[in-house]
């Protein structure tokens, strides 16, 4: 199922502030441990449960029961959600698959964070990379450093040290 793309001349919804990103996980306890280590934060909500027919319908499901935890970053919440009923099948995610998403964490010193993460046993999808003027638009984004990795369920994650044209929006 997909939604039609509204005509911007006919409607302006105005969604301009993100509250959180929700990530479906197979094992809430494992994912909480991973994101705790990744962020250095404790969840503000941990091992809560939601269920009920009305809630299920809001999700497009006939029934649901889930456990969740929430991490609060400075600018965004991360909800980790384990569906107990109905349990889902793992997604086939990859950077180039439509519908796949990634969550990006901004860092000051990418090489230092990358080395610290590797020393902690995290595997990256490839080596850290720095954008060059020949490969990126706008050209002033050259020098931006990125590295990509996955969480335990395969969710695409990124660390970025922005430069120039990729500076944080106001």
pLDDT tens-digit readout, 151-166: 999 999 999 998 865 6
Residue-level pLDDT at 87? 82
Note whether 20 and 70 are within 8 A (CB).
yes
pLDDT tens-digit readout, 52-81: 888 878 888 888 888 999 999 999 999 999
Euclidean distance between CA atoms 108 and 127, whole angstroms: 18
In the chain, which residue ranges form alpha helices assigned H by DSSP? Answer: 28-39, 53-58, 110-119
Boundaries of CATH 3.10.180.10 in the chain?
20-85, 102-166
How many residues does this entry show for the chain? 170
Residue-level pLDDT at 166? 60
CA distances from 71 to 22, 63, 77, 107 (A): 11, 26, 6, 18
Architecture of domain 20-85: Roll (3.10)
Topology given in CATH for the domain delimited by 102-166: 2,3-Dihydroxybiphenyl 1,2-Dioxygenase; domain 1 (3.10.180)
Residue-level pLDDT at 170? 46
Those residues of the chain that have pLDDT short of 70 are 1-2, 164-170
Residue-level pLDDT at 108? 93
**Other beta carbons less than 10 A from residue 161's beta carbon:** 21
Residue-level pLDDT at 62? 86
Euclidean distance between CA atoms 74 and 7, whole angstroms: 34
Dihedral of alpha carbons 5, 8, 11, 12, sign: positive
Question: DSSP E strands: which ranges in the chain?
Answer: 20-24, 45-51, 65-72, 77-85, 102-106, 129-130, 145-150, 156-161
């Amino acid at each position: 199922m997909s939604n039609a793309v509204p005509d911007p001349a006919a409607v302006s919804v105005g969604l301009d502030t993100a509250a959180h990103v929700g990530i479906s996980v197979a094992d809430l306890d494992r994912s909480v441990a991973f994101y705790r280590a990744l962020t250095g934060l404790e969840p503000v909500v941990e091992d809560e449960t939601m269920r009920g027919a009305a809630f299920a319908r809001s999700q497009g499901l006939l029934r649901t029961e889930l456990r969740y935890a929430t991490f609060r970053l400075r600018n965004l919440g991360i909800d980790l959600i384990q569906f107990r009923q109905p349990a889902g099948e793992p997604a086939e995610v990859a950077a180039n698959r439509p519908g796949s998403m990634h969550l990006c964490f901004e860092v000051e010193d990418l090489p230092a964070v990358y080395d610290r993460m590797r020393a902690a046993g995290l595997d990256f999808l490839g080596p850290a990379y720095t954008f060059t003027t020949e490969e990126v638009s706008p050209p002033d984004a050259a020098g931006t450093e990125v590295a990509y990795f996955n969480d335990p369920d395969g969710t695409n994650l990124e660390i970025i040290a922005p430069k120039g044209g990729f500076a944080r929006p106001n």
